[in-house]
Chains A and B, each alone.
Chain A
Amino acid sequence: MKFNVRQSGDVTILDLNGKITIGSGEEALRNTMQEILNSGAKKVVINMSGVTMIDSSGIGELVSAYTTATNRGTKLKLANLPSKVSDILTITQLITVFDVYDNEADAVSSFA
């Protein structure tokens, strides 16, 4: 798993790339999310376009990120879901929990 953090105005974008699977660095993802929240970010978009695979452990990390962000008053949105990730969120019924957008621009503008 690789990730990158960048800004778009007052929105923090976290680009996730590669496999979000058990043993692929989920601790690093958790720490990065923590750093983003500690920086005071209130609007966060996770860009999933580069995710090639996600397993149940990776889904757990996304849920954890969402819960932690929400508890700290930060709005977290997902953008650019690859079709298989979308299928998995549907199967787990998490598609109704996460705020999901087709693309990054829509996700960013949704905060306005």
Chain B
Amino acid sequence: MADEHRFHLAIGSRFENIELVQVVLKDRLRQLGMDEDTQDWVDLAVREALANAIKHGNAQDPEKQVHVDLDIEADELVIRVQDEGEGFDPDRVVDPLAPENIRRTNGRGILFMKKFMDRIHYGSGPGGGTMVTLRKRVGPKTDTPHHPEEGTE
């Protein structure tokens, strides 16, 4: 698919900057022919990735940036969100669907990403920090959110 859909953004670690990314992201998703429901779910998954990067990765330090890259690889939309933090082990996050955790007030961000994207992967970015990669097949109609996630890579 054409390069014009790609973008790279670097934002300061403020929650209000999430809205800036959303404007650009929504525009691209529309151009890719994604239906509105899927656009909304991808939007939400990216919000969660950005919120985690700002809050946990960069500890809301406005001097630290969050990098967002959108790319198309084969028939997949690929969005990478990278922070400048100390790294993160997703396995240490408790299962938000375990009965004892259902009423917790936090810890659902990764669940949302898994549910609304086809695949997610946590790793280290080139400069350290955490990079989460979100993948979604691009097509006229994709399966969200009622189909189970296909798991992490």
Give A contacts to B, CB under 8 Å.
21-23, 53, 55-57, 59-61, 63-64, 66-67, 84, 87-88, 91-94, 96-97
Contacts and interface: CB of A to CB of B under 8 A. Distances in A.
A2 B84 CA distance: 33
Nearest to A54: B44
Interface in B62-115: 96-97, 102-109, 111-112, 115
Interface of B: 14-16, 18, 40, 43-44, 47-48, 51, 55, 96-97, 102-109, 111-112, 115, 145-146
Contacts of B44: 53, 55
Contact of B103 (A61, A84, A91, A97): A97
B49 to A, nearest CB: 11
A72 to B, nearest CB: 16
Contacts, number: 61
B18 A22 contact: yes
A92 B48 CA distance: 14
Contact of A53 (B40, B96, B102, B146): B40
Given A22-B15, A56-B112, A91-B115, A97 B51 contact: no
5 contacts: A22-B51, A63-B103, A67-B103, A87-B146, A92-B97
Nearest to A61: B105
Contact of B102 (A60, A87, A88, A97): A97
Given A53-B44, A87-B145, A96-B102, 18 more contacts: A22-B15, A22-B51, A22-B55, A23-B14, A23-B16, A55-B44, A55-B48, A56-B109, A57-B106, A60-B104, A64-B105, A66-B103, A67-B103, A91-B115, A92-B108, A93-B97, A94-B102, A97-B103
* 10 residue pairs, one from A and one from B, having the closest CB atoms: A23-B15, A56-B108, A60-B105, A56-B109, A22-B51, A64-B105, A63-B105, A22-B15, A55-B47, A60-B106
Contacts of A88: 112
B103 A92 contact: no
B5 to A, nearest CB: 23
B58 to A, nearest CB: 14
Contacts of B103: 63, 66-67, 97
Contacts of A22: 15, 18, 47, 51, 55
The residue among A21, A55, A61, A84 with the most chain B CB atoms within 10 A of its own CB is: A55
A59 B55 contact: no
A57 B47 CA distance: 10
A96 to B, nearest CB: 8
